[in-house]
Structures are given as C-alpha cells and as structure tokens.
C-alpha cells in the first residue's frame, strides 16, 4: 500500500505540480517562531512561481501546525504526506515533534529537513531521508571544547542539567578536550531543584580552570549565584541555551561579568544572510528564519537538480547542489537559472554552509564566542 | 572530613528552611486533618509577594518576608474557603486531590500575573565567609536566622497564647474544643493562615537564596512533604526534626550517590519513614 | 420548676433512624439525676442531644426557661450546660494546666485564680499541672475532665459514664466529688452503667429502653423496687 502510494506519487510529481510541505509550530513552546518561518517559506515559493516555477512546473506549498506537540505533529505529517502528497517536509522546530514524524517520513520516502537538535534523530534509521539545518548538540560540545583548549587551562568541570541533550553535549566536549590533555570532569544534575550547593561544592572542589554551565537559565541562575558566593576565580563558559538574557537578568551584572558563551551562529555577513536581510527587511535575523531560508532553498534546488519531485530524488541530490567546485549560490532564483543552464552549483546558506554528513548532520557549523560585559553579551 | 563538615553545615541551613513550610503543612494537617498540597503554589505566591515588595516597592528583605507571610496566608485562607472547604464532607482524600488541582490553578495565576521569567530579589551578592575551610554564605546565615525566628515565633504563639492553646485543643479533639467554647472553623482558618503564611516565608527565603520562578514551590514540595511525613504528620516539632533530617540527608547523600539522584532522597525518606515509623519520628496520633 | 426540661425528643445521627423516640426528662436545680438503661438504649445520645452535638428532630429542649434546641455545642456551654463526654474528654497533648485553661475558654477573666480554685478542689491535678494529660490514669483523667467543666461555673453538668473503666474505689471517689459539686449549687445529669452505684448517689433516675422512657422516679424507690432491679438493672439475686 505504501509502495503503491509512493510510486503513484512519483508519477504524479513528474507530470503535475511540485509539492512540498512544512510542519511548524503556531502554538506551544515554538509558537513564537512558527509564523515567521511559514511566511518566509511562502515568500520564496511565490518568487519561484513568479519566475516560472521549476522546469515549468508550479510549486505548491502546504503547511501544518504541529502545536509543538508530538500527537498533533503525527496527524500533521500524515496529512502532508497522504493528502498533500509532498516530497519533502521542512520546519520541525522541536525534537519532540521530529522524533515521531521522522520514521513516517522515511517509510514513505519523504525527505525531512529539520531544525530539531537532538542527536538521536540523525542516529535513528532513516535511509538518508533526514537532513538537519541546525547544529547538533555534539558539535556544540565540541565547539565549547575547542574554546576551552584555546584558553589553555589544565582542567574543566561541567555542570549539565539532565535532559536528552546532556549526554551528547558531554561526549562532544569530553572527546574534544581529553585527547589534548585537558582534564574533563562533569556532573549531571536534576535541574528541577532549588538547591545546588552540593553540585557546586563538588565542582569547585576539583578546582577547575574552566567551569562549564550546561543547563537551562532557571537552574543555571541558582548555580551561578552559588559559584559567585563561593568565590570561584576561574573562567566560566555556558551554552547558548544557558547564557540567555533571562540568565543575565537573573544573576545580575555583578555576577555575570566576564562569563563566556560559545553558541551556534548564523552565517552573519554571508551573501545568503545579506540576501535574507533584504528579503525580510530586518537586520537582526533569528536562527530559525535563517534555517527556514536554507531549508526551502535546498529542497527546491535539489528538485531542480533531480528534475524530479520525489523524496528519493531530493535525498539523492541534496549533496550535489553543494558541489565545492560548483558556482557559489546564495538564493534559489540564481540557483535555478544555473541548474537550467546545466551548471554545477554550490549553495551556501544564511545559517550554515549547508554541507551534510552521511547521517544528515551539518559537516561544519559556525559558532560565535561572546563575553558578558556590564550585563550584556558582547563579542569576545 | 572537611567535605563532610561542609555538607553538615549546608544540610542544617537547608533543613531549617525546609522545616518552615513543613511546619506549615503540619499545622494545617493537625487542625484540619487534611493534606493541603497547594502549599507548593503558596510558596511561589510568597516568593512573588516578596519580589513585589522588595523589587517593585523597594522594601528591605525583612519587610518582604512579612508581606509574603501575610499574602500567602490570606491567599491560603481564601483558596481553602473557595476550593477545599466545600469538599471537606467528602473526606480527606477528596480534599487532598482537590488541593493538587488548586495548586495548579494558583501556580498558573502566578504565571499569568508575573510570567515565566526567572527573577532575582534585590539583595547584594556577597561572597561566602570561610572559617577553617568551611564556606558559609552571609545570605544563607540570614535566611537560617529568619527561619529560626519564624519557627520560634510560631512555637511561642502556639505555646503561650490563648489562641495558640485553643488551636492545639482543636487539633487534639475538635468536638471537645467545640464544647469548651472554641469555634473549630475559626481555628481552622487561623491554622491555614499561619501554615500558608509559613509557606510564604519559605518562598522568600528560597528566593533570596536562589531565584524566583513560578515552579519554585514545586521544586521543593517533595522535600517539604518528606520532612512532614518523616517527622510525623501534624507534629510541629516533628516537622522541624524532619526538615533537618531531610536537609542533611540530601546533602550527605551526595557523598555516596550521584547528585542527579539527590531528588530521590525525599522519596526514599518517605518510604523509609512509612516502613519504620508509620506515624513519623515524633508523631503521636 | 425544673432547670432543664426535655420533652418529646426524637433524635438520631444523620442518615440513620431515630435513636431517641419521644423521650422526656426534667432536672431540677441542685439535683443529681441518673439516666440508666441497657446498652443501646440511647442514654449517651440523649446527653449529646442536650449538649448540641446531635440536633433533635422533634421535641422541645429548654434550659432555665429558654430553648437550647439547635444551638451549637459552644453556645449550649455558654448557657451553663456543660457536657463531659465519656471518652476523649481531655486534650491529651496539652498539659493539665492548659486543659483547665481551655476548660475556662468561654470566660477568661481571672483565669489564674480559677485554675487555683479547681486545683484546690481536685488536689491530684494541682500536683501534676505541668504534665501532659495523656500521662494521667483513667481516674485522674475523669477528674481532670470534671475540673475542666467546673472552670466555666456550670449550672448543670452532663456526665457520660464517668466511672467507665475505673476501679470501684476510684468510682466511689468520683461520686463523692460529684456530690460535692452538687453541694455548690450545680445540677448533675449522669449516664451510668453501674446502676446500683448511681442510684445510691442520685436523687432521681430515668430508665431508658430502646430509645423510650421506661420508668422514672426517686432513686431510693427504684433501688427498693424488686421488679426494676430484676428487669432493668440486671440484678439476679
């Protein structure tokens, strides 16, 4: 039944319009981000259709509200696949939404391009149908590890809140610094408590040169106050999830002074980023918007490259449009023209260079290092 | 050895703060024979009342604590009147379950007013004092003293005043107290006011030590409940002993158990207490 | 004229059938009245109804010429009608001193002097004023319960089986105490299992059977009535 449906869809795609979709949160925790992502997707589709579509075919875009809720996401992805007959699903802001929908996509040979950061997504069986426009957590751990190595200390102690990200984060960090001779100790704590004296006591007893905070703002605020009171004198670095404005307001200027954060950054200043600034009329671009831009460009260019709008074709051509010897491309219209002219292209995105490992993760990601001065994050 | 001593100091400090809401839980249980789990939300109400007094109105911490006592106490009485009292006829379990629902409602009212952001009280951050290698935070000492003062004040009220004796009489035997001229309903209201007021004080103490967010009460309520059960439901001295034991156990457990599991200490204590002292260490009824 | 007058009282616990069916009693000033009868006759329920713990479903209940039916227990106490339950009649976790003070809760003037006065009447309480009530023996507990009742200057005491579980000697002591209290101008209504003891000490008695008045009369006459002794008091001699 699935086979019949998918081969039927393949024929339909060849003959008819090009159908792509997105699963985006309009409500729930992701609610603030979904609407602008959907708007950008539509804007790009309209541009492409105005320029004559792909290979003369119109692009049809559908999206479903996943409510940042796995149940709604499953219903939504079924509708996109069974009713809208899409060949690729974009968006997927949260890991909770991506985890149950990825097997459905893979089974129906539909490509998923996700923002969700949980490492386990790339590791689960997906036959290559999974791509992630976001930096995975392990890479974030590596980036923090590389920063720590540059600081030149002898030892690092990490305090990580227990959640699905803590283990890959820890592994990325430890596997980066330990082989280079830096000692790494970590503890994973229960972030739902109010008292972290014992945790902080253990951390400071190890007298680390660098203290790493890998929790949420709520618990990290309490931990940071405790660290300050104890008179810790070494360097402190936190993840982007931890060192937020909320965290800075919570601990106050006195305590936050000099804390570092190493966090994923969009490709600020890249041609694609500048193009997106023009397109949206905004100078400060949220990573979700940057990734949405890359997601839809990648999918449309891969379809054009394949001259076929099926999930398998998108999957097989996703890496071909990032040909290192190809002509650099920062927007879909230029890319489509070059492909139509038979040229090889290299799409470099607004969020990242958009090169993928065999499991669908980004090969390289862009990080920025910031330092807190007077209660604000400044380039460090 | 130094580490053990440090953990003992931390445990006593944390335990004294846990004891404050545990007393609140037990005084309500003693007088009404009801487990009122909305104490978690009333800890949060107290924390935000303290935040409002301290940060928005610029009052010093001690006045913020007084404000939290009054507001949590009043909120406790009002919510008990609206949500729990009508259910008393259906038994203690029905009321306990309703109090869980009440807890959610109150917590979300707090969210509605103040939002989800984490906030801090306006107190100077001070470095720890260090005595022979033992760290003691000035704020923690202040909180410890406030907790002790609140407990002493409550003990004095219960022991040396007519109304305190009357409340203990209702706790002992509401029917006889009624015959002797005491209105049990009035004493129940007073017990809820005092109990939830204690929860409010604990809310500010936690906020001074850590930070304020709507889940602040939920983060500690298991330990509070464990302290109350361990010491003996309804026993005020029991709540103090229970609070100190839980505080110490949570700290000392980190010597042998990974810190991620220290939340389980509360559960373990409840199970052990129910197995070894079903009426609590100082429970007598 | 009687001090307490109950007439045509029907009463029972909520959701249950009537336990008292058309019961009436009268108690005069300074009178000791015993209420006797087999188990389940409704003797305690009658006292609880007078005390306001059970609301009568019908009948009249007057004290000193005013109705006390439907008042809360504390308002009944406030009128001077003081009930001493059979069990749970003291506050075990409070000290004896505190128990006496709660006994006088309705009128807290000159508390110290009144506690001293009660302790003088019941010396055993005075010796252990700082002890928790739960440490008292059964007899001492009954004396404390009585002492608490005396703290408000009652006009009538309603005693529910005060000698239950006491040794014969302690029971005798208690009755001597009751008579002394009566001599200060307090009426006493007493529910008692030990009918002979009660009749020996009471002025009049009522016998209840199955929630109804069965017999009543002067205690002395009842003691001498062989039929009453045999049928109602279980005397087999």
Q: What is the pLDDT of residues C66-77, one digit of tens each?
A: 999 989 999 999
Show residues of chain B in contact with C153, CB under 8 Å. none
Show residues of chain A in contact with B119, CB under 8 Å. 249-250
Q: Do B180 and C106 touch (CB under 8 A)?
A: yes
Q: Closest-CA residue in chain B for C150?
A: B180
pLDDT tens per residue across span B259-285: 878 778 888 888 888 888 877 777 654
A16 — pLDDT class (breaks 50, 70, 90):
low
Residue A172, domain extent = 137-264+367-379
pTM for this one? 0.83
Show residues of chain C in contact with B179, CB under 8 Å. 51, 53, 73-74, 76-77, 82-83, 85
Show residues of chain B in contact with A189, CB under 8 Å. 259-260
pLDDT tens per residue across span A198-207: 889 899 989 9
Predicted confidence (pLDDT) at residue A300 exceeds the cutoff of 90 = yes
Work out the number of other CB atoms within 10 angstroms of the CB of residue A290: 24
Q: Do B125 and A254 touch (CB under 8 A)?
A: yes
Rounded to an integer, the average pLDDT of B184-205 is: 97
Whether A and C touch (3+ CB pairs < 8 Å), yes or no: no
With contact defined as 3+ CB pairs under 8 Å, the chains touching B are A, C
Q: Are residues A125 and A142 in the same domain?
A: no
Distance CA A152, CA A178 (A): 13
Number of folded domains that form chain B: 1
Show residues of chain B in contact with C91, CB under 8 Å. 168-169, 172-173, 176-177
Predicted confidence (pLDDT) at residue B103 exceeds the cutoff of 50 = yes
What's the helix, strand, coil split of chain B in %, to 5? 75, 5, 20
Report the length, in residues, of chain B. Answer: 285
Distance CA B251, CA A301 (A): 58
The answer to which of A151-155, A327-331, C106-110 has the lowest mean pLDDT is C106-110
Q: Which of A31, A197, A224, A247 to mutate to test the interface with B (most CBs of B within 10 A)?
A: A197
Secondary structure of B16-57 in HEC code, one letter for each residue: HHHHHHHHHHHHHHHHHCCCCCCHHHHHHHHHHHHHHHHHHC
In a domain, A357, yes or no: no
From A189, A229, A254, residue closest to B259, measured CB to CB? A189
In sequence order, the β-bridge partners of residue A372 are A377
Would you state the torsion angle of the CA atoms of residues C50, C56, C59, C65, taken in this order, to the nearest 10 degrees? 40
Q: Do B260 and A188 touch (CB under 8 A)?
A: yes
Q: Which of B40, B117, B118 to mutate to test the interface with A (most CBs of A within 10 A)?
A: B118
Q: Which of C93, C135, C149 to mutate to test the interface with B (most CBs of B within 10 A)?
A: C93
Q: Do B211 and A221 touch (CB under 8 A)?
A: yes
Place of tokens 């260090």: B130
Tell me whether C78 touches chain B (CB under 8 Å): yes
Predicted confidence (pLDDT) at residue C78 exceeds the cutoff of 90 = yes
How many helices, marked H, and strands, marked E, lie in chain A?
A: 14, 14
**What is residue C195's predicted lDDT score, i.e. its pLDDT?**
86
Q: Do A231 and B128 touch (CB under 8 A)?
A: yes
Place of tokens 């003291």: C90
Give pairs for A98-101: CB < 8 Å, separation 24+: A99/A70, A99/A124, A100/A70, A100/A73, A100/A74, A101/A23, A101/A73, A101/A74, A101/A76, A101/A77
Q: Do B120 and A230 touch (CB under 8 A)?
A: no
Q: Do B179 and C94 touch (CB under 8 A)?
A: no
Show residues of chain A in contact with B117, CB under 8 Å. 246, 249
CA distance B165 to chain C (A): 7
Size of interface A-B (CB pairs under 8 A): 100
Place of tokens 């229970």: B242
Predicted confidence (pLDDT) at residue A6 exceeds the cutoff of 50 = no
Distance CA B235, CA B92 (A): 18
Q: Are residues A192 and A239 in the same domain?
A: yes
Q: What residues in chain B have their Cβ under 8 A from chain A's Cβ atoms?
A: 3, 6-7, 10, 14, 117-120, 125-128, 130, 135, 137, 139, 206, 209-211, 213, 215-216, 218-220, 250-251, 254, 258-263
Q: Going edge to edge, which strands form the sheet with A88-91?
A: A59-65, A18-24, A88-91, A111-114, A130-132
**What is residue B53's predicted lDDT score, i.e. its pLDDT?**
97
Show residues of chain B in contact with A252, CB under 8 Å. 120, 125
Place of tokens 């931390």: B10
CATH number at residue B163: 1.10.3470
Predicted confidence (pLDDT) at residue A4 exceeds the cutoff of 70 = no
pLDDT tens per residue across span A27-59: 877 888 899 999 999 999 999 999 999 988 999
Q: Do B181 and C72 touch (CB under 8 A)?
A: no
Whether B and A touch (3+ CB pairs < 8 Å), yes or no: yes
From B127, B218, B259, residue closest to A198, measured CB to CB? B259
pLDDT tens per residue across span C26-53: 999 999 999 998 888 899 999 999 999 9
CA distance A365 to chain B (A): 30
pLDDT tens per residue across span A89-143: 999 998 889 999 999 999 999 999 999 888 889 988 999 999 999 998 999 999 9
A143 token code pair:
């980036």
CA distance B251 to chain A (A): 6
Q: Do B118 and A221 touch (CB under 8 A)?
A: yes
Q: Are residues A215 and A301 in the same domain?
A: no
Q: Do B172 and C83 touch (CB under 8 A)?
A: no
Distance CA B163, CA B155 (A): 12
Q: Are residues A127 and A274 in the same domain?
A: yes
Predicted confidence (pLDDT) at residue B109 exceeds the cutoff of 80 = yes
In a domain, A146, yes or no: yes
In a domain, B282, yes or no: no
Q: Are residues A301 and A183 in the same domain?
A: no
Q: Are residues A90 and A7 in the same domain?
A: yes
Q: Do A205 and B3 touch (CB under 8 A)?
A: yes
Region class of C95: left (phi > 0), else alpha (psi between -120 and 50), else beta: beta
Predicted confidence (pLDDT) at residue B80 exceeds the cutoff of 60 = yes
Bridge-based pairing state of the strands A18-24 and A59-65: parallel
In a domain, B231, yes or no: yes
Q: Do C102 and B182 touch (CB under 8 A)?
A: yes
Q: Closest-CA residue in chain C for B160?
A: C98
Rounded to an integer, the average pLDDT of B160-167 is: 94
C232 — pLDDT class (breaks 50, 70, 90):
low
Distance CA A235, CA A172 (A): 20
The answer to which of B72-86, C40-54, C106-120 has the lowest mean pLDDT is C106-120
Predicted confidence (pLDDT) at residue C236 exceeds the cutoff of 70 = no
Tell me whether C118 touches chain B (CB under 8 Å): no
In a domain, A122, yes or no: yes
Q: Are residues A162 and A282 in the same domain?
A: no
Q: Cβ neighbours of residue A209 under 8 Å, at least 6 residues apart?
A: A151, A153, A154, A155, A156, A234, A235
In a domain, A185, yes or no: yes
Residue B225, domain extent = 2-276
Q: Cβ neighbours of residue B94 under 8 Å, at least 6 residues apart?
A: B87
Q: Closest-CA residue in chain A for B207?
A: A194
A299 token code pair:
């999918």
Distance CA B230, CA B246 (A): 8
Q: Are residues A163 and A246 in the same domain?
A: yes
Q: How far is CA A362 from CA A130, A315, A358, in A?
A: 11, 15, 10
Q: Closest-CA residue in chain B for A255?
A: B125
With contact defined as 3+ CB pairs under 8 Å, the chains touching A are B
Tell me whether C108 touches chain B (CB under 8 Å): yes
The chain-wide mean pLDDT, for chain A, equals 91
Q: Do B128 and A194 touch (CB under 8 A)?
A: no
In a domain, B285, yes or no: no
In a domain, B7, yes or no: yes
Distance CA A206, CA A183 (A): 10
In a domain, A299, yes or no: yes
**What is residue A1's predicted lDDT score, i.e. its pLDDT?**
40
Whether B and C touch (3+ CB pairs < 8 Å), yes or no: yes
CA distance B58 to chain A (A): 17
pLDDT tens per residue across span A63-84: 999 988 899 999 999 999 999 9
Q: Do B165 and C89 touch (CB under 8 A)?
A: no
In a domain, B118, yes or no: yes
Q: Are residues A34 and A104 in the same domain?
A: yes
In a domain, A360, yes or no: no
Q: Going edge to edge, which strands form the sheet with C32-36?
A: C81-84, C156-160, C187-191, C32-36, C204-209, C212-218
Q: Are residues A94 and A143 in the same domain?
A: no
Number of folded domains that form chain A: 2
Q: Are residues A240 and A330 in the same domain?
A: no
DSSP state of B83: I
A2 — pLDDT class (breaks 50, 70, 90):
very low
Q: Are residues A107 and A142 in the same domain?
A: no
CATH number at residue A299: 3.40.50.2300
DSSP state of A9: H
H-only helix segments in chain C: 43-51, 73-78, 96-103, 111-121, 123-127, 138-150, 168-183, 195-201, 219-224, 226-231
Predicted confidence (pLDDT) at residue C233 exceeds the cutoff of 80 = no
From A190, A247, A251, residue closest to B263, measured CB to CB? A190
In a domain, B137, yes or no: yes
In a domain, B86, yes or no: yes
In a domain, A9, yes or no: yes
Show residues of chain B in contact with A170, CB under 8 Å. none
CA distance B177 to chain C (A): 8
In a domain, A359, yes or no: no
């Amino acid at each position: 039944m699935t086979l019949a449906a998918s081969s039927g869809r393949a024929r339909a795609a060849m003959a008819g319009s090009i159908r792509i979709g997105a699963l985006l949160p309009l409500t729930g925790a992701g609610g603030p981000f979904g609407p602008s992502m959907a708007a950008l997707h539509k804007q790009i589709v309209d541009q492409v259709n105005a320029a004559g579509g792909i290979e003369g075919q119109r692009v049809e875009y559908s999206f479903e509200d996943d409510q940042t809720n796995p149940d709604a996401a499953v219903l939504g992805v079924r509708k996109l696949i069974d009713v809208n007959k899409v060949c690729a699903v974009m968006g997927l802001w949260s890991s909770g939404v991506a985890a149950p929908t990825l097997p459905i996509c893979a089974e129906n040979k539909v490509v998923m391009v996700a923002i969700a950061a949980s490492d386990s997504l790339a590791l689960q069986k997906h036959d290559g149908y999974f791509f992630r426009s976001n930096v995975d957590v392990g890479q974030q751990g590596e980036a923090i590890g590389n920063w720590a190595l540059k600081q030149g200390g002898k030892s690092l102690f990490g305090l990580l809140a227990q959640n699905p990200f803590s283990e890959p984060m820890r592994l990325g960090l430890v596997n980066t610094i330990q082989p280079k001779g830096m000692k790494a100790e970590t503890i994973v704590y229960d972030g739902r408590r109010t008292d972290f004296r014992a945790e902080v006591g253990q951390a400071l007893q190890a007298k680390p040169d660098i203290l790493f905070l890998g929790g949420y703002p709520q618990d990290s605020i309490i931990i940071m106050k405790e660290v300050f009171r104890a008179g810790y004198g070494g360097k402190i670095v936190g993840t982007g999830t931890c060192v937020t404005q909320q965290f800075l307001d919570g601990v106050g200027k006195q305590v936050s002074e000099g804390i570092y954060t190493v966090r994923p950054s969009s490709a600020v200043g890249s041609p694609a980023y500048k193009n997106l600034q023009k397109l949206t009329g905004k100078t400060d671009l949220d990573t979700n918007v940057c990734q949405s831009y890359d997601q839809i460009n990648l999918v449309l260019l891969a379809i054009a490259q394949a001259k076929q709008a099926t999930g398998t074709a998108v999957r097989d051509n996703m890496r071909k449009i990032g040909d290192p010897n190809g002509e650099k491309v920062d927007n879909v219209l230029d890319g489509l023209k070059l492909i139509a002219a038979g040229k090889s292209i290299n799409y470099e995105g607004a969020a990242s260079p958009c090169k993928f490992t065999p499991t669908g993760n980004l090969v390289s990601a862009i990080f920025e290092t910031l330092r807190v001065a007077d209660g604000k994050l400044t380039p460090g | 050895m130094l580490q053990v001593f440090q953990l003992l100091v931390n445990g006593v400090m944390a335990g004294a703060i846990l004891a404050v809401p545990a007393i609140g839980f037990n005084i309500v249980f003693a007088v009404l024979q009801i487990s009122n789990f909305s104490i978690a939300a009333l800890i949060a109400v107290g924390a935000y009342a303290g935040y409002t007094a301290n940060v928005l109105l610029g009052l010093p911490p001690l006045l913020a604590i007084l404000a939290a006592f009054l507001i949590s106490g009043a909120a406790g009485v009002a919510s008990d009147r609206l949500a729990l009292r009508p259910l008393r006829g259906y038994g203690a379990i029905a009321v306990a379950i309703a109090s869980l629902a009440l807890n959610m409602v109150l917590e979300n009212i707090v969210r509605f007013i103040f939002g989800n952001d984490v906030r801090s009280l306006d107190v100077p951050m001070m470095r720890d004092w260090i005595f022979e290698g033992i760290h003691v935070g000035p704020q923690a000492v202040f909180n410890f003293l406030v907790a002790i003062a609140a407990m002493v004040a409550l003990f004095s009220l219960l022991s040396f005043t007519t109304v305190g004796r009357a409340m203990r009489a209702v706790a002992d035997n509401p029917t006889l107290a009624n015959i002797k001229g005491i209105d049990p309903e009035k004493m129940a209201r007073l017990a809820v006011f005092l109990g939830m007021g204690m929860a409010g004080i604990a809310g500010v103490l936690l906020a001074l030590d850590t930070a304020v967010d709507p889940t602040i009460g939920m983060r500690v309520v298991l330990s509070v409940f464990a302290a109350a059960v361990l010491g003996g439901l309804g026993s005020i001295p029991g709540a103090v002993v229970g609070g100190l034991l839980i505080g110490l156990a949570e700290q000392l457990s980190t010597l042998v158990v990974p810190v991620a599991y220290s939340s389980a200490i509360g559960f373990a204590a409840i199970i052990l207490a129910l197995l070894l002292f079903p009426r609590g260490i100082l429970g007598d009824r | 004229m009687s001090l307490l007058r109950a007439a045509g009282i029907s009463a029972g616990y909520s959701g249950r059938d009537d336990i008292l069916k058309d019961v009436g009693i009268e108690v005069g000033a300074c009178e000791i009245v015993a209420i006797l009868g087999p188990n389940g006759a409704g003797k305690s329920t009658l006292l609880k109804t007078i005390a306001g713990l059970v609301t009568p479903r019908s009948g009249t209940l007057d004290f000193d010429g005013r109705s006390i039916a439907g008042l809360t227990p504390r308002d009944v106490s406030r009128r001077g009608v003081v009930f001493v339950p059979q069990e749970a009649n003291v506050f075990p976790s409070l000290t004896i001193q505190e128990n006496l003070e709660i006994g006088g809760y309705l009128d807290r003037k000159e508390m110290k002097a009144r506690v001293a006065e009660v302790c003088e009447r019941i010396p055993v309480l005075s010796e252990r004023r700082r002890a928790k009530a739960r440490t008292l023996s059964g007899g001492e507990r009954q004396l404390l319960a009585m002492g608490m009742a005396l703290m408000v200057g009652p006009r009538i005491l309603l005693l529910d089986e005060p000698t239950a579980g006491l040794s014969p000697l302690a029971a005798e002591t208690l009755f001597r105490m009751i008579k002394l209290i009566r001599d200060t101008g307090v009426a006493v209504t007493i529910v008692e299992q030990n009918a002979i003891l009660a009749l020996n000490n009471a002025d009049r008695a009522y016998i209840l059977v199955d929630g109804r008045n069965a017999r009543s009369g002067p205690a002395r006459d009842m003691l001498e009535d062989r039929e009453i002794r045999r049928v109602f008091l279980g005397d087999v001699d």
